[in-house]
Structure 1
Amino acid sequence: MPRDAATHTAKDAPLPVRVPLATEPLGILGTLRAGRRNVLELIPEIATHAPIISNPRGKRWHMVMDPDALRRVLRDRVEDYPKSDVTKLMLAPAIGQSMFIAEGQEWLWQRRTAAPVFSHRNVANLAPVMTAAADRASARFAAAAGRAADAFDEMVTATFEVISDVTFSGNDGFDRDAVHKAIDAYIGQTAKISLLDVIGAPPWVPRPSRMLSGPGLRDMKKMADATIDRRRSEKGSNPMPDLLDLLMAGEDPKSGRKMTTEEIRDNLLTFIVAGHETTALTLSWALYLMAFDPALQDRARAEAQSILGPRTATAEDVPRLPFIRQVIDETLRLYPPAAFLSRTAQKNDELCGREVRRGDTVILPIYALHRHKKLWPNPDSFDPDRFAPGHQTDRFAFLPFGDGPRICIGANFAIQEAVIILATLLARFRFARIPGKDPKPVMILTLRPEGGVWLSVTSAESSG
């Protein structure tokens, strides 16, 4: 049963870990240090109160938290607000000109080609891979029962197993460990903000830190190209098509254009990076929040056990686990993996009464939006009932996957995977915080738990 709302939202109640937002101007060097340490420290505290903040001097920027203005940027005038040069500079070395970076017609034809890959039917067909990964994660947690385990490490393992299995089901000589290490190294170092980004240097000026990522990424791309070419020669030998098969078979319904090996590779690497990192983070933060609030953990466990009994969750169970889904949504509100987005205005415009000039940077601080005092009651508290049936929230106040035409193409895939794995784990185990070991939210490219998510693990049965 839901807990009493008064106990749940009391102002003096403990709060889950959060990022200390800036209370003083940072200056250029302070901005660089904060950006390399934790991008979210660039957000001023006032962003959780105001609809928009602007810097009209020097490198002009606007930080937007107003849902109507966000609707304009992400949906109504999306072509006038493409992804910023900084975003493209960070990601292009790893994922080329995939649909995540491409703009205009180049983006549109790729999106039309890939959309059927993530249809409800195809996503449901991939669910057995998620169920198998949940079983393997359960076995690892069972081996750790009675002691501490790093839930972040376990969830990264589980979600990478899922994405690699649904992408390259036949292995095809694809070195998964090498790919995993190359991606992790890229995110950890070369995706950090450069001083040249901070001062607004043009994109053609080389960023030295991003030139260091070459060998690992080059090897990863060569491996992917060879895998794609090998699969082409097999001509559909897989009994159940995986993401690679579906992308190879896909074509733009308007032009009939099909993706080249390079285009398939860049999009597959996008799916691998986004498909395991974001879901692993969501699950890690969800387990931390469950440990943070044992009463809500008990409630989620009761739902999972009532539906699953001793078995592992499947796609058919997902709609029957509404509270588990609420936990996932509230986790995405408090710790959105893509917590800081930016766009570059292509035309003069007006947002919240502010002049926006062509070339201005428009920042979408999703972390501040999700904790905005005027949009969410007690925004720093953990309350999954915000997402209970009947509760109304402005669609553009909750943007874990973005919105508009460029909403995350794999959102349904990620939600299905997260519900299957979380429900299975909560039905079988009890998770508790370890004093002094709470994670620290730090964003470089995604919002990661610095130091891991260390929890004590016990069997749900043996714990009573």
Structure 2
Amino acid sequence: MTIASWGLKLLYVIWWRPKTIEKKLWKQGIQGYPYKLIHGNIKELIKFAEETESKPMEEQPHDILPRLNPLLHHLVSTYKKSFVIWYGTNPRVVIMEPNLIKEILENKSGDFPKPEINSFTQLFVTGLASYNGHKWAKHRKIMNPAFHFEKIKHMLPAFVSCTEEMIGKWRKLVDFMGSCEVDMSAEFQNLTGDVISKAAFSSNFEEGRLIFLLQKEQGRLFLESQMSINLPFLRLLPTKVNKRMRHIHKEVGSLLTGIIGKRVKAIKSGDHNDDLLDMLLRSNLNELQDQKENSNTAMSLEDVIEECKLFYFAGQETTANLLTWTMILLSMHSEWQDRAREEVMQVFGKNKPTYDDLNRLNIVNMILLEVLRLYPSTSLIRCTYKETNLGNLSLPSGVQLFIPLYLVHRDTEQWGEDAMEFKPQRFSEGTFKDAKPYFPFGWGPRICVGQDFAMLESKLALAKILQNFSFQLSPNYTHAPYATVTLQPQYGAQIILHKLGQGDKGRQLQVQQQLIV
């Protein structure tokens, strides 16, 4: 290929194609900041973020968008429902209308697939959450048995063991000092890392912990890579981030290859474990035996490795976030903390909860659903690979569709004027009351396969905490929701734990506490 043809191709990628798409979108009323060469709207995004990041959230603590994504806040205030943001050369159309969201998520013909996996994503994590078409269907079929509720019930002892270890550590601190301050963000990252290590790799727990730590670092590097200019050749450069991501990718792959090889041998010799890896490999081996003439129906070793990596990201990070935000919100709204504790004591008192007990915790369930409404871990992205109709829109090929759940879940037209308020009673009749637009685990055929796993783990951890402690926000806590790979408190989640009965007076003094900035 000549220099001239390379130059023309580059010009097409960085100017002709984006401006052509922009023109088609603007004609249909999908507007926003104009596309700028190579950078798109990245400079505006950074500028808005720098202006608001240091500002406190002084009025409504759950109105998080102005701080979380000030550019998006500015555009939604101007254009309301649909508009475009340029991330480099990629157009991202924001979709907020519930009927259009459901049309995207319920589509079974492949019109709105997940975006193409780039090299940075390949180094971090792919798996079921990233695949499309036949590969997604194959992996979903193999993984479904591992996440059946009967299988998850058998993982409860691993959940209990890890949770009681954390509670025991806290109890020693409280007994010694009368009360103690704990950063719940760090504690729950460790808890859910331990849980996923035991639930996924029970007989290789220490190796599982090492994989968890490496994947956590890889997540930070992945986020750093996404803030660079989005041109494919830049991913090949020997930068510090690129080299470290490749090293971690290789190390995690080597660790998982060893674990998987040992486990396959054990399964073939008749040994049995009730963890995720064992169930995934058994399901995969069954698929191989049933379809001997077409081995393409089973996963390769590389496929199994990617699913194991996904266990860590989805099973650890998102559940840790749910528990962290739940503790923060129950500290802000102590009346719901009291109601949840009363329910826990009524259902199983000081006894160890069973699977059936946890499913009887209606108030706890309502609280978790409301936390997921206000503080969903992430948002949803789909794309178009051809000219595609969506409602009355005709979307050109190469458009990303962005569904910002933290906005959709706060839409006053759908949720009422109190949409910014913490009101778990919204879910007194479950998630389908009034058919509200609620998608914390996705929707349609691609709904999260691990949602029952996450909810059971969260219910157990919260119930055990409520059994043992009362808690309140520390004066050191700063309410600063921050979007990294997932939605997290930027400066940690400092919570003061008290023995039951001893913290009531302190909490009453701080019910109306102003959030420290």
Common topology (TM > 0.5): yes
Q: Distance in 1 between matches of 2:161 and 2:49?
A: 38
**What does the per-residue CA deviation read over 1:376-402, in whole Å, with 9 as the maximum and x for residues that have no partner?**
122221111111127854657111111
Alpha-carbon distance in 1 for matches of 2:270, 2:457:
26
Matched residue count: 435
1:70 counterpart residue number: 101
Q: Secondary structure at the match of 1:80?
A: coil
* Partner Cα separation in structure 2 for residue 47 and residue 441 of structure 1: 19
SS in structure 2 at match of 1:259: coil
Match of residue 246 from structure 2? 214
Distance in 2 of aligned mates of 1:210 and 1:397: 39
Closer, same or farther in 2 for the Cα pair 1:137/1:170, shift >3 Å? same
| Counterpart Cα distance in 1 of 2:125 and 2:461 | 27
Stretch moving more, 41-50 or 240-249 = 41-50
Deviations 1:319-341 (A, max 9, x none): 21000011111111111112x33
Quick one: distance in 1 between partners of 2:169 and 2:365? 24
Aligned partner of 1:178 in structure 2 is: 210
CA distance in 2, matches of 1:390, 1:259: 36
Shift of 1:166: 1.0
1:357 is aligned with what amino acid? Answer: P
Q: Relative to 1, partners in 2 of residues 1:405 and 1:300: Cα closer, same or farther, differing over 3 Å? A: same
Indicate whether 1:269 and 2:309 are aligned. Answer: yes
Aligned twin of 1:303: 343
- Counterpart of 1:167 in structure 2 is 200
| 1:409 to 2:446 alignment | no
The structure-2 alpha-carbon separation of the partners of 1:28 and 1:390, relative to structure 1 and needing over 3 Å to count, comes to closer
Give the distance between the partners of 1:24 and 1:138, measured in 2 at CA: 50
Write out the 4+ residue segments of structure 1 that deviate beyond 6 Å after TM superposition: 23-26, 33-39
Instruction: Name the Cα RMSD after superposition.
Output: 2.9
Equivalences for residues 165-244 of structure 1 within 5 A: 165-171=198-204, 174-192=206-224, 193-197=226-230, 201=231, 206=236, 209-235=241-267, 238-244=271-277
The one of the two structures with greater contact order (alpha-carbon pairs below 8 A, sep at least 6) is 1
Deviations 1:30-75 (A, max 9, x none): 3256789887444225538933224699753310011110111111
Larger Rg: 2
- 1:326: which partner in 2? 366
1:52 to 57, 82, 89: 82
Q: Give the unaligned 5+ runs of structure 1.
A: 1-22
Structure-2 residue corresponding to 1:386: 426
1:29 to 43, 56, 67: 43
Residue in 2 aligned with 1:20? none
In structure 1, C-alpha distance between the alignment counterparts of 2:249 and 2:82, rounded to whole Å = 38
Shift of 1:284: 0.6
User: Deviation string for 1:224-273 (max 9, x for gaps)?
Assistant: 11011011222265554211111111134776733222211110110122
CA contact (8 A) 1:51 1:352 kept: no
* SS of aligned partner of 1:358: coil
1:347 aligns with 2:386: yes
Could you say if the C-alpha distance between residues 56 and 158 of structure 1 is closer, same or farther in structure 2, counting changes exceeding 3 Å? closer
Deviations 1:417-462 (A, max 9, x none): 1111111111211110112413421112111111211010001244
Give the deviation of 1:348 after TM superposition. Answer: 2.1
Q: Structure 1-normalised TM-score?
A: 0.85
Match of 1:155 in 2: 188
What is the CA–CA distance in structure 2 between the aligned matches of 1:437 and 1:420, rounded to whole Å? 25
Q: TM-score, normalised by structure 2?
A: 0.77
Task: List per-residue Cα deviations over 1:190-241 (Å, max 9, x = no partner).
Answer: 22323323xxx45886475445312223212101110110112222655542
Structure 2 partner of 1:363: 402
The amino acid across from 2:264 in the alignment is R
Decide which moves more: 252-261 or 133-142: 252-261
**Aligned CA distance change for structure 1 residues 239 and 59 (closer, same or farther; 3 Å):** closer
| 1:410 partner amino acid | G
What SS does the aligned partner of 2:113 have?
coil
Q: Which has the higher helix share?
A: 2
Amino acid at match of 2:406: Y
Larger deviation, residues 344-353 vs 62-71 = 344-353
